[in-house]
Each structure stands twice: as structure tokens, then as C-alpha cells.
């Protein structure tokens, strides 16, 4: 539950449909093409390089990392 809102997990059929879609995107959407028109106002968001992850070997197609927690960085915690 997040902020008082309960979310139902998708069923097996819905998860399979999403997995097939993600695998198709990973195979067919190359970095050298544009898929959305550039913005006409404002600026694109910037990503922290730590948000870009490499999938484990053998999971290059269909791997979607999911954040399971978020924490403030502690100055005493070593960075990985």
C-alpha cells in the first residue's frame, strides 16, 4: 500500500503480455532512432548515471530492474 492506495498485482496473463512487449522493445528499439518527437518546450530530464544498469549475462533481452527501496545516501556508507 502506498499513501493509502492499494495496488493489485497483475495476473499471470498480464505479466506474460508485458514481458512479451518488453522483449520486443529490447530487440527492435535501437539507440540510433527517435521514438518520440523532441520536446517543443522545456528540457529533457537528466538521469543519474547510477540509474543505468547493465543486465546480468543471459538477460540482455527482457530484463527490467525494479527498485525495491529508496534511501538517502549516508556519507559514511561506501559507494559500490
- Rounded to an integer, the average pLDDT of 47-70 is 85
CA distance 46 to 34: 17
The 10 Å CB-count burial string (b at 16+, else e) for 10-32 is eeeeeeeeeeeeeeeeeeeeeee
Q: How does residue 78 score in pLDDT terms, banded at 50, 70 and 90?
A: low
Determine if the pTM surpasses 0.85. no
Q: How long a stretch of residues is the chain?
A: 80
Least confident range from 22-26, 58-62, 68-72: namely 68-72
Phi-psi region of 42 (alpha: psi -120 to 50; beta: other; left: phi over 0): left
- Rounded to an integer, the average pLDDT of 63-72 is 79
CA diameter of the chain: 45
Amino acid at each position: 500500500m502506498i499513501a493509502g492506495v492499494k495496488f493489485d498485482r497483475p495476473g499471470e496473463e498480464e505479466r506474460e503480455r508485458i514481458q512479451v512487449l518488453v522483449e520486443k522493445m529490447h530487440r527492435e528499439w535501437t539507440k540510433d532512432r527517435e521514438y518520440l518527437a523532441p520536446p517543443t518546450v522545456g528540457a529533457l530530464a537528466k538521469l543519474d548515471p547510477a540509474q543505468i544498469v547493465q543486465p546480468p549475462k543471459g538477460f540482455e533481452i527482457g530484463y527490467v530492474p525494479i527498485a525495491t527501496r529508496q534511501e538517502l545516501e549516508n556519507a559514511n556508507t561506501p559507494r559500490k
